[in-house]
Amino acid sequence: MKFCSQCGATVSLQIPVDDDRERHVCTACETIHYINPKVIVGCLPVVGDRILLCKRAIEPRYGKWTLPAGFMEIRETSAAGAARETWEEAAAEAIDLALYRIFDVPHISQVYLFYRCHIANDAFGVGPESLESALFKEEDIPWDELAFPVVREMLGEYVEDRKSGQYPIRNTVIEYPRR
Amino acid sequence: MKFCSQCGATVSLQIPVDDDRERHVCTACETIHYINPKVIVGCLPVVGDRILLCKRAIEPRYGKWTLPAGFMEIRETSAAGAARETWEEAAAEAIDLALYRIFDVPHISQVYLFYRCHIANDAFGVGPESLESALFKEEDIPWDELAFPVVREMLGEYVEDRKSGQYPIRNTVIEYPRR
């Protein structure tokens, strides 16, 4: 950030009064510009004993498999955002959403909220950000071709949880890059 | 947002290519400026059969009672942020944090992540954003003087959960203002 989005003057990094860390503060109108973490919302869509994955058509991780997910938008709920991403990436209507997994990824200032879901009529397709979509049984999941650590971790937990039929909501921190 | 934070030129609202909603786009350098929901992190600190609340010294809801909470900062985890807020507002060191409650508040584009916790040495004080801090038994909670709907809802759930000793992680949507 170099300029004030309110008045167009330059900003400088300084610690505002009553604050304890540097912020971008406008040198003219004194507006304080806060930068905060972003929320990623997504789904883990299940059809019987198979999981819906999408092959990414965009960077980063072009060509790798992932779960439908993306940035939460203003004025939507996290579940609505997760369903929206499932529609956009897999042309599937997410239903029966149940919160399943929360990740903190402080290295990139992101919080992930993932929902388990079914998809209406078991129907899916390929959205503009995907090269293809497909259903995978556990033994067919492309573990070495998954796009992100959060996807690998969540899928591993899910196939374990499925054995008991218990899906506790978990939250952990992903240290990234992996050590 | 009126000016581009990258180059200082004016921005205009337009729908970028491959997007489906209006964004602030720079008329000169074409940077797309996304606005996303913010995360509020907080704690529900427990000392025996009492809950630690803070009386707000700031607007909104000056003089009302609340749980320590505030905007999550970049590069911190949600639990670290919740502990930081507990220190800032109640001079208490949050320990034993366990995720408890997630709220979507789409009307104001916020997601809340609250942790149950204990406090080190059962010690607390008054932070700069609080007029006072105090421990409340269930029957003494100032239900009509609570600052926010999320606080009222969570405290009500907590006193119920305590009867069974089971604290499931819940997530719901707060429609705000209340109908």
Condensed to tens digits (0 to 9), the pLDDT of residues A80-119 reads 999 999 999 999 999 999 999 999 999 999 999 999 999 9
In chain A, what are the domain boundaries? 1-35, 38-173
Determine the topology of domain B1-35 in CATH.
Answer: Ubiquitin Ligase Nedd4; Chain: W; (2.20.70)
**pLDDT(B177) > 80:** no
CA distances from A6 to A18, A123, B27, B71, B164 (A): 22, 46, 15, 21, 51
Q: Which residue of B has its CA nearest to A129?
A: B18
**pLDDT(B178) > 90:** no
Condensed to tens digits (0 to 9), the pLDDT of residues B32-62 reads 999 999 999 999 999 999 999 999 999 999 9
CB pair distance less than 8 Å for B39 and A35: no
ipTM over 0.90: yes
Tokens 């581009």: give the residue.
B4
Of B1, B11, B39, the CB nearest to A37: B39
pLDDT band of B175, cuts 50, 70, 90: confident
Tokens 């003057």: give the residue.
A9
CB pair distance less than 8 Å for A5 and B2: yes
Side-by-side strand order, sheet with A23-26:
A11-14, A23-26, A32-33
- Cβ-based contacts of B37 with chain A (< 8 Å): 39, 72-74
Class of domain A38-173: alpha beta
| pLDDT, averaged across chain B | 96
Of B2, B74, B109, the CB nearest to A109: B74
Pairing of strands A38-47, A110-119: parallel
Condensed to tens digits (0 to 9), the pLDDT of residues B113-167 reads 999 999 999 999 999 999 999 999 999 999 999 999 999 999 999 999 999 999 9
Q: What is the reported pLDDT for A178?
A: 56
Condensed to tens digits (0 to 9), the pLDDT of residues A38-88 reads 999 999 999 999 999 999 999 999 999 999 999 999 999 999 999 999 999
* CA-wise closest residue to B43 among B89, B106, B109, B8: B89
Specify the 3-state DSSP secondary structure of B29: coil
Q: Which residues of A touch B (CB under 8 A)?
A: 1-11, 18, 21, 33-39, 71-80, 99, 102, 104, 106-107, 109, 111, 113, 128, 168-169, 171, 173
